[in-house]
Chains A and B, each alone.
Chain A
Amino acid sequence: MLARRIIPCLDCDLGVPGGRVVKGIEFKQIRYAGIPWELAGRYYEDGADEIVFLDITASHERRETMTGVIKKTSESVFVPLAVGGGIKSVEEAREVFNAGADKITLNTSALKRPELISEISDRYGNQAVVLAIDAKRRYGREEGREIIETPEGPCWFECSFYGGREFTGIDAIAWAKDAVSRGAGEILLTSMDRDGTYDGFDIPLTDAVAKRVRIPVIASGGCASPDHMLEVFQKTEASAALAASIFHFGEWNIRDVKAYLKERGVNVRV
């Protein structure tokens, strides 16, 4: 049986030589966490199942810095690497794959031009394309939306793009299903309501998407403790849990988190 994965996420500011890992709160306030390839190396040694790099600067001139980071990381990190942020074409995806990435993640560019998903998956396979969705709760029973019941009331989920700065009006659950039919191999699902809050994953959101798609879903946003990971694995079919801050700032070590989960019956790689 496939193990549940623990994935540290490195949000990278590539505006400085070599880049640096930062962490925002609710997509805004920024805190400095370390050098990307060094942190990646530490997480690998600690037992990360995969590592995600997101370029939060995402402008074209930064891509060379990102490919440099991936090249350097792949010399000493031997688990899958996923890279995202500003990839808008097969050509740009190719640069990242050639630097050693196993997967690319798409968000804004796929929302603006959904064909990009199939263009990249036709060439590199579905497993290489992760669709990242930043979803925000919109309370009420709006017509034509996939309504999900939550303890806080019924809501639908709206996709955001441009790093949470703009909203699309697109239903996140409908978009997830559409993206699967276009060849996305995995969904990185971030709750904007929970991101940076330390309140735990958005369980209704994760459950809803994981039940509706037959591809792995990575739960993201709000994780502050191994308990939150335990909760998302017990209550939803999420294949993986992603976290940043709790690993970056030394609160938890990946090895300890996995031991905690294993003791409580979660199938993880230790």
Chain B
Amino acid sequence: MIAIVNYGMGNLFSIYNALDRIGGDPKIVTDPEGLAGADGIVVPGVGAFGSCMDQLTRFEGSLLRAFQEGVPMLGICIGMQVLFEGSEESPGAKGLGWIKGNVVRLPDGVMIPQMGWNSLSIKRPVEMLEGISNGDMFYFVHSYYGRPVDRSVVVATTDHGVEVTAAIAKDNLFATQFHPEKSGAKGLKILENFVRCLHC
């Protein structure tokens, strides 16, 4: 079972349907207790960093425990940003801090939010990116992006005025700034990789 963390931010239909489509056995989980026994955990997210963290706080302990136990985890969009220590979007709000570094605003002079399909530049081949090639396009919707202190966690970037972190990997954690559930067949491929990782 893959637990989709429902912390009250936005609709989870798309990610649920996408995981269901590829045989991922998704379950929308509304309480931290629901994470126990999950083979994998997806942290989705839309909205502002601060309000996401407000809602996510009650899951913090259970998520950390699962992360330390090695349960495969997938963060998407704001679900990736909350892994960092904080964000320019919501000064004062603390992120989960599993990835050292901050979330910063896209530079002036580019279209904000970045909304649309942009191509990946793969920095490090990882299992989660199997079947994905340099230049493959994914769907992005965001105004901020994560900038990790340790650049080695960055596995893919995209170009939107600056080099934008598009995907990170650290131990059993994988996260994307883009939306795999809205990125057509290539997006589904990443979700399939995630499902396969649950059993390896």
**Real binding pair:** yes
Contact A215 B111 (CB under 8 A): yes
B14 contact set on A, CB distance < 8 A? 74, 78, 100, 102
When C-beta atoms are compared, the residue in chain A nearest to B116 turns out to be A2
Q: Complex Cα distance A240/B10, Å?
A: 25
Contact of B116 among A44, A97, A125, A216 (CB under 8 A): A216
A30 contact set on B, CB distance < 8 A? none
Q: Complex Cα distance A80/B17, Å?
A: 13
A2 contact set on B, CB distance < 8 A? 111, 114-118, 160
Q: Complex Cα distance A44/B14, Å?
A: 15
In this assembly, does A16 line the interface, its C-beta being within 8 Å of a C-beta of chain B?
A: no
Q: Complex Cα distance A49/B184, Å?
A: 8
Contact of A5 among B10, B114, B117, B187 (CB under 8 A): B117
Contact A216 B115 (CB under 8 A): yes
B184 contact set on A, CB distance < 8 A? 44, 47, 78-79
Q: Complex Cα distance A166/B115, Å?
A: 32
A269 contact set on B, CB distance < 8 A? 117, 137
Q: What distance in Å separates the Cβ of B64 from its nearest Cβ neighbour in chain A?
A: 28
Contact with A along B181-198 (1 / 0, CB 8 A): 111110110000000000
B17 contact set on A, CB distance < 8 A? 74-76, 78, 100
Q: Complex Cα distance A2/B184, Å?
A: 16
Contact B118 A3 (CB under 8 A): yes
Given A1-B118, A2-B118, A239-B116, are A98 and B11 also a contact pair (CB < 8 Å)? yes
In this assembly, does B113 line the interface, its C-beta being within 8 Å of a C-beta of chain A?
A: yes
Number of A-B contacts (CB under 8 A): 82
Contact A125 B47 (CB under 8 A): yes
Contact of B115 among A75, A76, A186 (CB under 8 A): A186
Q: What distance in Å separates the Cβ of B3 from its nearest Cβ neighbour in chain A?
A: 20
A1 contact set on B, CB distance < 8 A? 118-119, 159-160
In this assembly, does A245 line the interface, its C-beta being within 8 Å of a C-beta of chain B?
A: no
Contact A126 B117 (CB under 8 A): no
Contact of A49 among B11, B20, B46, B117 (CB under 8 A): B117
In this assembly, does A141 line the interface, its C-beta being within 8 Å of a C-beta of chain B?
A: no
In this assembly, does B59 line the interface, its C-beta being within 8 Å of a C-beta of chain A?
A: no
A99 contact set on B, CB distance < 8 A? 13
Contact with A along B106-133 (1 / 0, CB 8 A): 0000011111111100000000000000
In this assembly, does B4 line the interface, its C-beta being within 8 Å of a C-beta of chain A?
A: no
In this assembly, does A185 line the interface, its C-beta being within 8 Å of a C-beta of chain B?
A: yes
Q: Complex Cα distance A100/B17, Å?
A: 10
In this assembly, does B173 line the interface, its C-beta being within 8 Å of a C-beta of chain A?
A: no
* Given A78-B14, A239-B111, 10 further pairs, Cβ under 8 A: A2-B111, A5-B117, A49-B117, A78-B188, A97-B10, A98-B11, A100-B11, A127-B141, A216-B115, A240-B116
| 5 pairs of residues in contact across A and B, judged by CB atoms under 8 Å | A2-B114, A2-B115, A47-B184, A97-B10, A240-B116
Q: Which 7 A-B pairs have the closest CB atoms?
A: A269-B137, A100-B13, A3-B117, A2-B116, A269-B117, A127-B141, A127-B113
**A residues engaging B (CB < 8 A)?**
1-3, 5, 44, 47, 49, 71, 74-76, 78-80, 97-100, 102, 124-127, 185-186, 214-216, 239-240, 269
